[in-house]
Structure 1
Amino acid sequence: MRLRDINTIKSELQYLLDYKVPQVKFVDRTFNWNQEHAFSIWKYLLENDNGITNFHFEIAADLLTDKHMAILRCMRPGLIQLEIGVQSTNERTLKAINRHTNIETLRRNTAQIHSFQNIHQHLDLIAGLPYEDYDSFANSFNDVYKMAPDQLQLGFLKVLKGSPIEQLTEKYGIVHHAKPPYEVLYTKWLRYEDLLKLKGIEEMTELYYNSNQFSHMLLVLQQEFATPFHLFEALANYYQTNGYFVNIPSRNYRYQILLEFACSVASDKHDLFVELLIFDLYLRENLKTRPDFAPENKIPRQKLNQFYAQEAQYPNCLTNYHGYTSAQLLRMTHVECFQYAVWNNCAIDCTKKLQFPAYILFDYQKRSPLTHNATYFEISI
């Protein structure tokens, strides 16, 4: 492979940084194949960050070094995002497509990056590869899901003209569409019926996982299933049975559907599921109208007024709202009463009913640059 002159690259990057371009995507298929080259570019971006531009890189996570990790740890949240093409965790499959990925190293490195809480990670899987049947793909899905990517992309094999895989279609029994994008229909290992099931699971993963709108609900709900794959498989079956795939429901109605599905699995946890969904909803948006499944928010108006009057005069939680009146603070933020500690990231602890109600304040001016979720506080009222 050839490398462009590093000084030329830095000059071009500075031009984009000066104009505050929102996002720049590097087209390298494996950006960090040359470790020093990758480090030099990342170091330049760190030292010349304009606070706005995001840079997208497709990397091989198992090739990252301690030196890379040290600089990635220092990045501004949202400065870079990483796309990591896992494709499969089946070793025989990886060998057949000539990928030499060290899955254990990849797992360890993605976990370390996840711990930094400053870099969006997008991990890819491909269905229809050699030696990957339905159960093997489920294993790959579960392996990658446990890596906690910010996005888990399920793709389907494309047999492009002139590609190495095209020469092996007969050997592997790969049948694909005759027209672009030449997507796989079935293989020696994956039946057409199973591929259609994976299409449904892909849709559920996109709507409920990749949207990052149901994170706390999914954390608890997946405890009702043997594996994450079983959860999304069952959810896809629920959509299919109830005809929801015909017209994909609106964003708000998806919460109602997920509640119905969850209660069909564990009806005794209805109240917990409702609170989880309420929390996930208000984490994303300051709703003006409560969803139909949500009971009335039973916080006395007098207590709310007292809290916001105090914040307007002596800010404690809402320190970035200088100059706003208590009435404006009430409209711009939200306080919700909970009977369960649904904000707790431990799925087991949050299922226990609290001895006393808890009050959570959602601050929509302070959002995570990675998830766009509001900041929240537990407050006393």
Structure 2
Amino acid sequence: MKLLWLDLNSSYAHSSLALPALHAQVATSADDVEWFRHSATINENPGMIAAEVYRYAPDVVAATCWLFNHEVLLHVLARVHALLPEATILLGGPEFLGDNSEFLRTSSFVTAVFRGEGEESFSQWLRVWDQPESWSDISGLCYYDAQGNYHDQGIARVLDFDQLCSPEESSFFNWEKPFVQLETTRGCFNTCSFCVSGGEKPVRRLPLSQVRERLQRIHQAGIRDVRLLDRTFNYNIHYARQLLQLFQEFPGMRFHLEIHPALLTDELKQELLLLPQGLLHLEAGIQSLRADVLAEGHRKGRLEDALSGLKFLCSLPNMETHADLIAGLPLYRLQDIFSDVVTLASYHAGEIQLESLKVLPGTDMRRRASELGLVYSPYPPYEVLMTPHITPQELQTARYLSRLLDAFYNAKTWQTVTRQLIIEQPDFLLRFLEHLQALHVIDQPMALDRRGVILYEFCKNHYPEYAPLVAQAWIEGGLSLKKQPAEHVRTKHVSPPEKWNIVFGEYQEQLRLCVYAPPGAKEYVWYGYDSQVQNPRPVFKAISE
């Protein structure tokens, strides 16, 4: 049997673990299966992708379906079915965690779909792939039989998670990417109604020795970024502390993980404080800073503990913490979102990510959508369109706010001044948002310097006391001294003053100096550039009267 895996991703920078995870379980036991992979992105022509699939003449075409490849994948597979009507088309992935009968009825070119964790079930299916009469015993499989009867075998769970062969053992594991994904646990203790993992019980974890072996292999391959797929890293404090100690055995590696700020103990806080600089990149799952919103979403953990934990994480000098908010959650109002952004900025969150709620298949929120008054798109990515507490127009404003945060707060060059404006000027976010909309740039990609010019001009007109801060951020970001934000910079015949207070760097005579001296300034800001190094950023900064 010839099996083709269609690896359809949003970009070539990302790749799914599904193929190597499944292949690793059968690589030695399924000698009669000839495996192939064709990789493509959602930006390619569906007809051309289908033609490539046809070239392999497969008996089975398999793929993972998720929010952002769903539409293109179906366009491709419909064409594949037209070209290869006898081929079996099998899908899995998070899109099939709900009721699949309607999907299979309307997408009749798809033979069957898997619901849940497929490593064991897929291996079973391969043994009887051409015997549909034997499919009824395979956990998680959903399909229509030849008589038109729908079969739903529930949800597949791999209870012996630690007994699975690791994806890295598969010849299809991609070692060419700059990062790898790693599960140290599977399942989630939490019950968030908006998350596909909200009911994923029990939580299973790998022995520490197994994690160490896999990290050693990853380290030997020269990969330095590891992204943990664990839903909540610190659900088990003892295990989390063991992992943090293990990570320190691999200097030079960086671990991305999601942490629940409400579950931080004093022992774990102390462990985090002592970690080397840059070892961790934290995502703090917060979603909202409103107790009623979190309660409606069935998220565990007291809000007071979450806020205290988040403030601690954001204060850590040895790592950066990103925080996320979800617009469209039940009871979450637009004014609450703006207020929460201000709070997160005051905590000095490394990034603020604001997304719209996706009412995902298989979640409790999808099942309760009518009860909660959620109006959402019937097509991926199933974004919420309206709730009893936020209008379509307000959701659009929230989406624009997300764009503003990405372009300015989440850009390191503009973060400090943007944060200061957000905290100190209550009307800044709304006024700047209206300004960006009036310029028709809110939905456009903007270069770093374009963003700086817009912010500088806006501050000059509305918050003139902040314009010098934007100008200094511009200079320290290594941007052109010939453009408007640097209009008060002198670069010719600049000599150091008799006395200055050094902010960073060390003054040396060979440095090329410039001075920022806006009219009426009580202080001058001096910058030094190393002419021998190809670096547009200043290496020295000082302030004088």
- Tell me the TM-score normalised to structure 1 length: 0.78
2:256 corresponds to which residue? 56
CA separation of 1:26 and 1:69: change in aligned 2, threshold 3 A: same
Paired residues, number: 334
1:237 corresponds to which residue? 434
- Measured after TM superposition, the shift of residue 137 of structure 1 is 2.5
SS in structure 2 at match of 1:136: helix
Distance 2:303 2:272 in 1: 20
2:213 corresponds to which residue? 11
Distance 2:538 2:277 in 1: 15
SS in structure 1 at match of 2:234: helix
1:151 corresponds to which residue? 351
**Identity of matched residues, %:** 23
Unaligned runs of 5+ in 1: 305-315, 320-324, 341-351, 367-372
Q: 1:303 aligned to 2:495? A: yes
2:472 corresponds to which residue? 279
SS in structure 2 at match of 1:359: strand
Q: What letter corresponds to residue 242 of structure 1 in structure 2?
A: L
- Measured after TM superposition, the shift of residue 103 of structure 1 is 2.6
CA contact (8 A) 2:282 2:319 kept: yes
CA separation of 1:133 and 1:262: change in aligned 2, threshold 3 A: same
CA separation of 1:148 and 1:18: change in aligned 2, threshold 3 A: same
2:363 corresponds to which residue? 163
Unaligned runs of 5+ in 2: 1-202, 497-504
Distance 2:386 2:530 in 1: 49
CA contact (8 A) 1:49 1:79 kept: no
Distance 1:75 1:40 in 2: 13
CA contact (8 A) 1:158 1:183 kept: yes
Q: 1:201 aligned to 2:401? A: yes
- Measured after TM superposition, the shift of residue 131 of structure 1 is 1.1
CA contact (8 A) 1:124 1:155 kept: yes
Distance 2:256 2:279 in 1: 9
1:337 corresponds to which residue? 516
CA contact (8 A) 1:134 1:190 kept: yes
Distance 1:42 1:365 in 2: 41
Distance 1:249 1:3 in 2: 43
Determine which structure has the larger helix proportion and give its number: 1
1:67 corresponds to which residue? 267
Q: What letter corresponds to residue 437 of structure 2 in structure 1?
A: Q
Q: What are the equivalent positions in structure 2 for 1:229-378 lying under 5 Å apart?
A: 230-245=427-442, 247-266=444-463, 269=464, 272-285=465-478, 287-295=479-487, 297-298=489-490, 300-301=492-493, 303=495, 317=506, 326=510, 330=512, 335-338=514-517, 353-354=521-522, 356-361=523-528, 376-378=540-542
Task: Please list the CA deviations of residues 79-109 of structure 1 after superposition, one character each: whole Å capped at 9, or x if unmatched.
Answer: 1111011111111111111112323223323
**Which of 79, 89, 97 is the equivalent residue of 2:297?**
97
CA separation of 1:138 and 1:303: change in aligned 2, threshold 3 A: closer
- Measured after TM superposition, the shift of residue 302 of structure 1 is 6.1
CA contact (8 A) 1:339 1:358 kept: no
1:322 corresponds to which residue? none
Task: Please list the CA deviations of residues 296-344 of structure 1 after superposition, one character each: whole Å capped at 9, or x if unmatched.
Answer: 532553637xxxxxxxxxxx8169xxxxx93xx54xxx6443569xxxx
Task: Please list the CA deviations of residues 212-249 of structure 1 after superposition, one character each: whole Å capped at 9, or x if unmatched.
Answer: 221342244336622xxx42222111111222236443
Distance 1:365 1:16 in 2: 37
**Which of 34, 40, 43 is the equivalent residue of 2:242?**
40
CA separation of 1:318 and 1:19: change in aligned 2, threshold 3 A: farther
Distance 2:462 2:261 in 1: 37
CA contact (8 A) 1:176 1:183 kept: yes
Q: 1:22 aligned to 2:22? A: no
CA RMSD of superposed structures (Å): 3.1
Distance 1:265 1:181 in 2: 38
Larger radius of gyration: 2
Deviates more, 1:6-15 or 1:200-209: 6-15
CA separation of 1:115 and 1:247: change in aligned 2, threshold 3 A: closer
Q: What are the equivalent positions in structure 2 for 1:79-158 lying under 5 Å apart?
A: 79-158=279-358
SS in structure 1 at match of 2:301: coil
